[in-house]
A and B are shown apart, each in its own frame.
Chain A
Amino acid sequence: MNPLHYELSHLETLEAEAIHIFREVAAEFERPVLLFSGGKDSLVLLRLAEKAFRPGRFPFPIMHVDTGHNFPEVLEFRDRLIAELGERLIVASVQESIDRGRVVEETGPRASRNRLQIVTLLDAIAEHGFDAAFGGARRDEERARAKERVFSFRDDFGQWEPKRQRPEIWSLYNGRIRKGEHVRVFPLSNWTELDVWQYIAQERLEVPSIYYAHTRQVFERDGMLYALSPHVQLIEGEEPFEASVRYRTVGDMTCTGAVRSLATTLPEVVSEIAATRVTERGETRADDRVTEAAMEDRKREGYF
């Protein structure tokens, strides 16, 4: 910041806006929760929550929807980080939803638990009575998200209806809801992928190791590289091979692709991102590629 001109940099402006959103939600909702995926966006959310509430504790717990298909590196990282923060973690398990018969496991080589986690998430929100859930979604990620509000209103089925969203004027957020309804809150709405990485660099945040280039066994499918893991069945003709890769997003091992990379440090990763010519979702998320309106459909159902 420049004290002579009282100017903020763009990251400082984005940060101040996000902190404001966190505090509004803490003040106006009874039972907020922070949805944590282990990905870079949720790490930034945690840092912003520290900025909003320290030296106090977070006025909400942190919840991870565990699909059972996570990268082990990410789970290890999650537990260490939350212990360091000294905050409360709730784990909602997709495996439990399957065991209880709430959802049916997909089968076949392209099976994924990506859709199933919607049910696990909505069940957990209902069970704990959460009325607001912070998420790390950004408007630059995908076209259906460009019109998303900061306070994204969900009906009592958890559904998103684009036409029913409330106008958001100035920074006066309207968080009034009826019982059973809830709001997804996106403090990073105005951040881009590059902003997130610049912030991670500025704050010196630790990120899971899979964001950096590492050698792993991968195979190619639909033009993307996937990690070889017990959760994925190979289709005939798919040959695993070793490559130096890193991840741009953290999702399930079954639907998150890696990119070839030699970037082993944060500045190298940031340079690669800045020079990149493909969006992170287009490049590495099979879940968005299924249909042109894939993301929009999942959002309507109650996806993040």
Chain B
Amino acid sequence: MTPGAATNGHALRTRTSELLRFATAGSVDDGKSTLIGRLLHDSKAILEDQLEHVIRTSERRGDGYVNLALLTDGLRAEREQGITIDVAYRYFQTPRRKFVIADTPGHEQYTRNMVTGASTADVSIILVDARKGVIEQTRRHAYIASLLRIPHLVVCVNKMDLVEYDEAVFEQIVEELTDWTARLDISDISFIPISALHGDNVVERSLQMAWYDGPPLLYHLEHVVIAPDRNLTDIRFPVQWVIRPNSEEHHDYRGYAGQVAGGVLHPGDEVMVLPSGQRTRVSAIDTFKGSVDSAFPDMSVTVRVEDELDISRGDMLVEPDDPPAAARELEAMVCWMGSDPLRPGARLVIKHTTRTTRARLEDLDYRVDVNTLEHLPADELALNEIGRVRIRTGSPLIVDPYARNRTTGSFILIDEATNDTVAAGMVLAAR
């Protein structure tokens, strides 16, 4: 099957295709850019002018072949230095799915970039150079993927052509990484032997590795089941914006607009409003096209309730039987992205769902050595370090553990002096 070509005839009929976000990680020269270039090229997402540009640049650089890696290079600074400096996004589509790739470089700033690119990913792809095997960065990438709870991990063992497509080399890597990931919280992991340069097992099945009976990478990405990864059990609806038209036609209209973060809402459902704790019932779920029978993650809708309550941005409609905590003390894992280190006592701003408030770092429990998973005592967290902290907030936040809900369990920290985003946080427990 040629995915891109098949799209052509059915451009208007691809509506039922799902969106899948994946992030790629690997250390420099593992072949990440080549792999992405190969996926884009073989799925026909590359247009002529882009390809022409790549051919011309390859010639000028004297690469000696069409360097597909050039497809993913972006800014001038990178072109000059020959490196990727940030997270870049790419898109391609097959009849089954539309793909969003967050391409995160493996060098300096790797943690910050990987966390940024992978935070919303359904799938994380980690590249391993078959000749080098599992290295420190492979373990680090697997750890970050598990920390962010990316539901599916795919390890691509690349450059198989350079090890004579040898099954034993592949098996050795599978075994080693399986041991390591057993210590992590990863629910789904797959291994695929590939050659990004030659296209083996990327889009087309490899003729060189008959011993591998799994699917090629693209097939895997098209078929991995992602819908159940969301929390459909516990209603979580953070209110973003209150719609009050005050017009003649809609005189009494009062709707709470937001994006569903968990559970399935129906008209008639009882909900609790946090932090007030009041209860009411959903009277209608509105969209621009009219009212709907249900709303589930990640729909953006407008909810109306039966009672006249004082509900505003930052409040959350939740399941009354099992509500989240309205908490001012959080225990969390944070990835520090600020250039100055984080120390206990630091005063910051925290943004969590639709609420923003002040925060103080009470305690730094430990720092994680991302290569060994060891917990090390620490009095500060430097750029790109990950640690466990205790935070006290200025007003209550309505939080779940991140393991339960990636939206209501995550937050960012902002430096008030520079307005920079300096940390990504994942809640472990709240009081």
User: Any chain B CB within 8 A of the CB of A108?
Assistant: no
Asked if A168 and B91 sit within 8 Å, CB to CB, the answer is no
User: Any chain B CB within 8 A of the CB of A139?
Assistant: yes
- Residues of chain A contacted by B243 (CB below 8 angstroms): 53-56
Asked if A172 and B240 sit within 8 Å, CB to CB, the answer is no
Question: Which residues of A285-301 are within 8 A (CB) of B?
Answer: 293, 296
- Residues of chain A contacted by B120 (CB below 8 angstroms): 170-171
CB distance from B68 to the nearest CB of A (A): 14
- Residues of chain A contacted by B351 (CB below 8 angstroms): 172, 174
Asked if B49 and A8 sit within 8 Å, CB to CB, the answer is no
Interface segment, A117-125, A141-149, A236-244? A141-149
Asked if A274 and B300 sit within 8 Å, CB to CB, the answer is no
Asked if B411 and A270 sit within 8 Å, CB to CB, the answer is no
- Residues of chain B contacted by A24 (CB below 8 angstroms): 240, 354
Known A144-B74, A174-B419; contact A282-B298, beta-carbon cutoff 8 A: no
Asked if A169 and B298 sit within 8 Å, CB to CB, the answer is no
Please indicate which of the listed interface residues B72, B247, B351 has the most CB atoms of chain A within 10 Å of its own CB: B351
Chain A interface helix/strand/loop/mixed: helix
A19 to B289, CA, bound (A): 14
User: Any chain B CB within 8 A of the CB of A70?
Assistant: no
A168 to B9, CA, bound (A): 36
User: Any chain A CB within 8 A of the CB of B400?
Assistant: no
Question: Which residues of A159-191 are within 8 A (CB) of B?
Answer: 162-163, 165-172, 174, 176-178, 189-190
A167 to B86, CA, bound (A): 9
Partner of B49, one of A198, A201, A283: A283
Known A13-B19, A56-B243; contact A176-B419, beta-carbon cutoff 8 A: yes
Range, interface on chain A: 35 or more
A56 to B420, CA, bound (A): 33
Partner of A270, one of B11, B241, B259: B11
Closest A residue by C-beta to B240: A23
CB distance from B205 to the nearest CB of A (A): 26
Closest A residue by C-beta to B73: A143
Known A8-B298, A27-B354, A270-B12; contact A195-B119, beta-carbon cutoff 8 A: no
- Residues of chain B contacted by A296 (CB below 8 angstroms): 75-76
CB distance from B93 to the nearest CB of A (A): 7
User: Any chain B CB within 8 A of the CB of A9?
Assistant: yes
User: Any chain B CB within 8 A of the CB of A278?
Assistant: yes
- Total A-B pairs in contact (CB under 8 Å)? 203
User: Any chain A CB within 8 A of the CB of B150?
Assistant: no
Question: Which residues of B247-275 are within 8 A (CB) of A?
Answer: 247, 249-250, 253, 257-259, 264
Partner of B240, one of A20, A168, A194, A277: A20
User: Any chain A CB within 8 A of the CB of B421?
Assistant: yes
A53 to B349, CA, bound (A): 28
Please indicate which of the listed interface residues A2, A56, A296 has the most CB atoms of chain B within 10 Å of its own CB: A56
- Residues of chain A contacted by B264 (CB below 8 angstroms): 6
- Residues of chain A contacted by B49 (CB below 8 angstroms): 278-279, 282-283
Question: Which residues of A68-127 are within 8 A (CB) of B?
Answer: none
The 8 A CB mask of B54-84 against A (1 = contact, 0 = none) is 0000000000000000001111110100000
A2 to B257, CA, bound (A): 22
Closest A residue by C-beta to B15: A9
Known A270-B12, A273-B11; contact A139-B424, beta-carbon cutoff 8 A: no
User: Any chain B CB within 8 A of the CB of A220?
Assistant: no
Closest A residue by C-beta to B98: A10
CB distance from A41 to the nearest CB of B (A): 15
A290 to B264, CA, bound (A): 51
Asked if A27 and B337 sit within 8 Å, CB to CB, the answer is no
Partner of B48, one of A13, A23, A202, A278: A278
Question: Which residues of A28-87 are within 8 A (CB) of B?
Answer: 50-57
CB distance from B356 to the nearest CB of A (A): 8
User: Any chain B CB within 8 A of the CB of A233?
Assistant: no
- Residues of chain B contacted by A162 (CB below 8 angstroms): 75, 77, 85-86
- Residues of chain B contacted by A54 (CB below 8 angstroms): 243, 288
- Residues of chain B contacted by A279 (CB below 8 angstroms): 47, 49-50
User: Any chain A CB within 8 A of the CB of B7?
Assistant: yes
- Residues of chain A contacted by B19 (CB below 8 angstroms): 8-10, 13-14
Asked if A167 and B287 sit within 8 Å, CB to CB, the answer is no
- Residues of chain A contacted by B160 (CB below 8 angstroms): none
Asked if A169 and B421 sit within 8 Å, CB to CB, the answer is yes
A139 to B72, CA, bound (A): 12
- Residues of chain B contacted by A234 (CB below 8 angstroms): none
A163 to B73, CA, bound (A): 15
Closest A residue by C-beta to B423: A169
Closest B residue by C-beta to A138: B91
- Residues of chain A contacted by B420 (CB below 8 angstroms): 166, 174
Partner of B115, one of A8, A13, A169, A282: A169
CB distance from A5 to the nearest CB of B (A): 6
Known A23-B258, A56-B244; contact A172-B411, beta-carbon cutoff 8 A: yes
A197 to B243, CA, bound (A): 29
User: Any chain B CB within 8 A of the CB of A232?
Assistant: no
The 8 A CB mask of B328-342 against A (1 = contact, 0 = none) is 000000000100000
Asked if B421 and A278 sit within 8 Å, CB to CB, the answer is no
CB distance from A3 to the nearest CB of B (A): 6
User: Any chain B CB within 8 A of the CB of A26?
Assistant: yes
User: Any chain B CB within 8 A of the CB of A15?
Assistant: yes
A263 to B119, CA, bound (A): 41
User: Any chain A CB within 8 A of the CB of B412?
Assistant: yes
Additional A-B contacts beyond A14-B19, A190-B91, A277-B47 (19; CB < 8 A): A3-B294, A8-B18, A10-B97, A24-B240, A54-B243, A56-B243, A143-B75, A144-B76, A162-B77, A167-B115, A170-B120, A170-B406, A170-B412, A176-B419, A177-B419, A192-B91, A198-B15, A270-B11, A293-B76
Residue contacts A-B, CB under 8 angstroms, 29 given: A7-B227, A8-B18, A8-B19, A9-B16, A9-B19, A10-B98, A20-B240, A20-B259, A23-B258, A50-B288, A53-B243, A56-B244, A143-B74, A144-B76, A147-B74, A147-B89, A167-B87, A167-B112, A167-B115, A167-B337, A172-B411, A172-B412, A192-B91, A195-B98, A198-B15, A270-B11, A275-B8, A293-B76, A296-B76
- Nearest 10 CB-CB pairings of A with B: A282-B49, A274-B11, A19-B300, A10-B19, A10-B98, A176-B419, A51-B288, A167-B116, A6-B296, A16-B300
